[in-house]
């Protein structure tokens, strides 16, 4: 039986249980129609997209789309099968059960009166973030890392007054190093 769209809203099943997160890497022909078709496939079937990123790949004419979604094995199997059927899709890989590297980027603009700047800079240093813009009363901070790291940094910066936040989706690649020499 196919789960209904409502059952998987917000990454939970109908009992409220959190569904596992999956990272899917999709290699496509580099055109916006491919992205539109993939989003339409997710939307039309009621699949959840937690984040999606699209960018030029290593080969001319190809792009990599990284999709973070939630679902049980049956749902993710349906997603990958449906992705294989989308025009312009070259390759689909669920990275979830393999070693992979994943990063997100956030730009966080905070209120920063002179009296609070040193405290903000300490938080920036702890998260190995960077201050990339400064004005008389604001700082813009670049944070790169896992989603949890970005959530934590934004959580600590919130006390100073978030002015704006821009956040990318996750980008991911399969990890090649396995520890063997």
Residue-by-residue DSSP string for 19-83: PPEEEEEEEEESSHHHHHHHHHHHHHHT---SEEEEEE-SSTTEEEEEEEEE--HHHHHHHHHHH
Instruction: Give one word for 46, left, alpha or beta, with left for phi > 0 and alpha for psi -120 to 50.
Output: left
Average pLDDT over residues 148-166: 97
Could you tell me the CA-to-CA distances from 35 to 26, 61, 81, 154 in Å, in that order? 10, 14, 16, 29
| pLDDT, tens digit, 9 for 90 and up, residues 40-97 | 999 999 888 999 999 998 889 999 999 999 888 889 999 999 999 999 999 999 998 8
Partners of 172 in beta bridges? 102
Domain annotation covers residue 129: yes
Task: Give the whole-angstrom CA distance, residue 41 versus residue 2.
Answer: 16
Domain annotation covers residue 179: no
27 and 74, same domain (yes or no):
yes
Q: Answer yes or no: is pLDDT of 98 > 70.
A: yes
**What pLDDT, on a 0 to 100 scale, did the predictor assign at position 181?**
59
Q: Answer yes or no: is pLDDT of 6 > 50.
A: no
The count of domains in the chain is 2
Q: How confident is the model at residue 25 (pLDDT cuts 50, 70, 90)?
A: very high
Could you tell me the CA-to-CA distances from 64 to 1, 68, 86 in Å, in that order? 32, 13, 14
Mean pLDDT score across all residues of the chain? 89
Q: What is the pTM of this model?
A: 0.78
Helix 117-126 × helix 147-157 angle, to 10°? 170
Domain annotation covers residue 181: no
Q: Which CATH number fits the domain that encloses residue 16?
A: 3.30.70.260
Q: How confident is the model at residue 8 (pLDDT cuts 50, 70, 90)?
A: very low
Q: Which CATH number fits the domain that encloses residue 159?
A: 3.30.70.1150
Domain span at 138: 101-174
Could you tell me the CA-to-CA distances from 45 to 6, 9, 40 in Å, in that order? 11, 12, 8
């Amino acid at each position: 039986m196919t789960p209904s769209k409502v059952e998987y809203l917000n990454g939970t099943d109908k009992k409220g249980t959190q569904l596992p997160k999956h990272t899917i890497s999709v290699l496509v022909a580099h055109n916006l129609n491919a992205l539109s078709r993939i989003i339409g496939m997710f939307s039309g079937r009621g699949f959840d997209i937690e984040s999606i990123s699209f960018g030029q790949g290593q080969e001319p004419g190809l792009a990599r789309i990284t999709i973070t979604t939630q679902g049980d094995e049956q749902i993710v199997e349906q997603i990958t099968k449906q992705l294989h059927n989308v025009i312009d899709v070259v390759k689909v890989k669920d990275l979830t059960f393999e070693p992979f590297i994943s990063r997100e980027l956030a730009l966080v603009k905070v209120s920063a009166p002179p009296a609070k700047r040193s405290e903000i800079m300490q938080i920036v240093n702890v998260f190995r973030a960077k201050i990339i813009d400064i004005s008389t009363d604001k700082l813009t901070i670049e944070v790169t890392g896992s989603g949890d790291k970005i959530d934590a940094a934004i959580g600590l910066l919130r006390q100073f007054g978030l002015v704006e936040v821009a956040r990318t989706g996750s980008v991911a690649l399969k990890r090649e190093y396995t520890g063997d020499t």
